[in-house]
Amino acid sequence: MSIKLFDYQLKAIQQMKNGCILCGGVGSGKSLTALSYYYLQNGGELISLIGGDYIPMDDPPKDLYIITTARKRDTLEWEGELSPFLLSTHPETNLYHNHKVVVDSWNNIGKYVNVTGAFFIFDEQRVIGSGVWVKSFLKITKTNDWILLSATPGDTWQDYIPVFIANGFYKNRTEFTREHIVYSHFTKFPKIDRYINTGKLLKLRRSILVMMDFKRETISHHEDVYVSYSVEQYKDVSRTRWNPYKNEPIQNAGELCYIWRKIVNSDQSRQVAVLEIFKKHPKVIIFYNFDYELEILRNLDYGSKVKVAEWNGHKHEPIPNSKSWVYLVQYAAGCEGWNCITTDTIIFYSQNYSYKVMVQAAGRIDRLNTPYTDLYYYHLKSRSGIDLAISKALKEKKNFNESKFVLTI
């Protein structure tokens, strides 16, 4: 299988260096670009990346470790990316002798803190905060070459602290905090009021961020499908602050929003809308948030010959390969780390609070190698206050805040 990179991928490789963040939208081909960079860094030839015959790397090249999501590891997605380079996690099918290729999940990153002299690809950026993953990441980066892959840059400057430390820009989190963070004096717990010396931060970020600038060949069609809901029940909960499902008072804003959404999302009109869309698109991915939504979606009458599979906290089933299928995916478990090029349709049964999650979920079918030009996204929503408020936040590319919304009611 020959390798033929796009111009924007070749441009990215020219800009890449040890410790960089390769940033490209979902479906941009970051994995192939990262492996191409590794290939060139280990004695490979550029001609092999633009359609020419494969020229082997140095034998052996540096051991390769890919830290990714559990799903990408379990579905062997990286194996497919490795094969054009004649690389494999199985020694018997690896071209190179005495060479190790490991693909594992972020949950197991601690197993590799003593590895030295290897090359690490950190996929689906997880090094945020100061937990165990970050500590392991910082140990690994001291004695190995490495790059990070991310669909979206960090949301705040805090998100960059581990990468800045790994690149030697700061000794530790304390030094970064001292130079750049001003905390609010009006809160019981530490809360960032503002960042200072941001000119330096912008310069440092530019030095490590490699953006993949590519134009999509696909055309995305987003349609809002408005459905009904029980206005009377919704208003009753708003007025009484009473949980009708547990028959007890509602305790906080989070619970109130959950009840409103359950009333709205359980309405039969939403279920009818799913089946109407499915009639037009016999292979469909449906994203949902809650287990009660899963129960509803499981029990819809799609047809006796339709295969229904799930990916969530309970089940990890593969995408069906039948003529007609429904794939039920929980946002929290499956908004990233997998791809599907056998359908052109996603239904968002309910909205997620996170703009980033919604973008990542949509990207599951918008891939470079999809055979479809037109992609269809159906956003099911009602005209209830909660649905409209979530929609407004997402349209503004913001996350929905329950507490702020409840205060406006």
Q: Which residue has the higher pLDDT, 126 or 57?
A: 57
E strands, 213-324, in order = 219-226, 242-243, 248-249, 283-288, 307-311
Condensed to tens digits (0 to 9), the pLDDT of residues 262-320 reads: 999 999 999 999 999 999 999 999 999 999 999 999 999 999 999 999 999 888 899 99
- The average confidence (pLDDT) of the chain is 93
Q: What percent of the chain has pLDDT over 90?
A: 78
Look at residues 159, 189, 211 and tell me which one is the last residue of a structural domain: 211
Q: Quick one: 181 and 295 in the same domain?
A: no
Q: Both 139 and 256 in a single domain?
A: no
| Count of beta carbons in the 10 Å neighbourhood of residue 60 | 14
Q: Are residues 261 and 377 in the same domain?
A: yes
Tell me the DSSP string of 236-264.
Answer: HHHHH-EETTTTEE--SHHHHHHHHHHHH
End-to-end CA distance of the chain: 59
Instruction: Kindly state the average pLDDT of the residues 119-129.
Output: 83
Q: Tell me if residue 73 falls in helix, strand or coil.
A: helix
CATH number, domain at 266?
Answer: 3.40.50.300
Q: Which pLDDT score is estimated for 215? A: 78
Share of the chain above pLDDT 70, in %: 99
Whether 189 and 265 map to the same domain: the answer is no
Domain hosting 280: range is: 219-408
Question: By C-alpha distance, which of 324, 381, 342, 334 is closest to 361?
Answer: 334
**Same domain, yes or no, for 232 and 347?**
yes
Residue 36 lies in a domain: yes
Whether 192 and 310 map to the same domain: the answer is: no
**Same domain assignment for residues 354 and 224:** yes
Place of tokens 């054009």: 84
Same domain, 249 and 192: no
Per-residue model confidence (pLDDT) at position 353: 96
In a domain, 261, yes or no: yes
In a domain, 2, yes or no: no
pLDDT band of 365, cuts 50, 70, 90: very high
d(CA 381, CA 370): 28
For residues 176 and 237, state if they share a domain.
no
Domain termination residue (choose one: 211, 243, 271): 211
Q: For residue 407, what pLDDT is reported?
A: 85
Q: Give the three-class secondary structure for 35.
A: helix
Structure confidence at residue 214 (pLDDT):
77
Residue-level pLDDT at 1? 61
Query: Above 80 in pLDDT, residue 51?
Result: yes
Alpha-helix runs per DSSP H in 70-172: 70-74, 77-82, 132-142, 161-166
Q: Work out the average pLDDT over 79-92.
A: 93
56 is a domain residue: yes
Number of domains forming the structure of the chain:
2
Instruction: Output the pLDDT for position 131.
Output: 81
In a domain, 348, yes or no: yes
Q: How far apart are CA 399 and CA 334, in angstroms?
A: 18
**Which CATH number belongs to the domain containing residue 78 in this structure?**
3.40.50.10810
The string of DSSP letters for 379-397 reads EEE-SSHHHHHHHHHHHTT
pLDDT exceeds 80 at position 128? no
Same domain, 318 and 177: no
- At which of 178, 193, 211 does a domain end? 211
Q: 198 pLDDT band (50/70/90 cuts)? A: very high
Exposure string of 181-211, with b = 16+ CB inside 10 Å and e = fewer, is: beeeeeeeeeeeeeeeeeeebeebbeebbbb
C-alpha span between 120 and 34 (Å, rounded): 10
Q: Is 64 contained in some domain?
A: yes
Residue 336 CA to residue 149 CA, distance in Å, equals 13
Q: How confident is the model at residue 74 (pLDDT cuts 50, 70, 90)?
A: confident
Residue 104 has φ and ψ, to the nearest 5°, of -145, 170
Q: Does residue 249 have a cis bond before it (omega within 30 degrees)? A: no
Q: Is residue 1 part of a domain?
A: no
Is residue 244 assigned to a domain? yes
Q: How would you classify residue 289: left for phi > 0, otherwise alpha for psi between -120 and 50, otherwise beta? A: alpha
| Pick from 57, 63, 62, 65: nearest CA to 86 | 57
Flag whether pLDDT at 253 surpasses 70. yes
In terms of domains, do 225 and 125 share one? Answer: no
pLDDT at 71: 83
The predicted model gives 220-247 an average pLDDT of 96
Same domain? For 48 and 184 the reply is: yes
186: pLDDT strictly greater than 80: no
Region 141-163 average pLDDT = 88
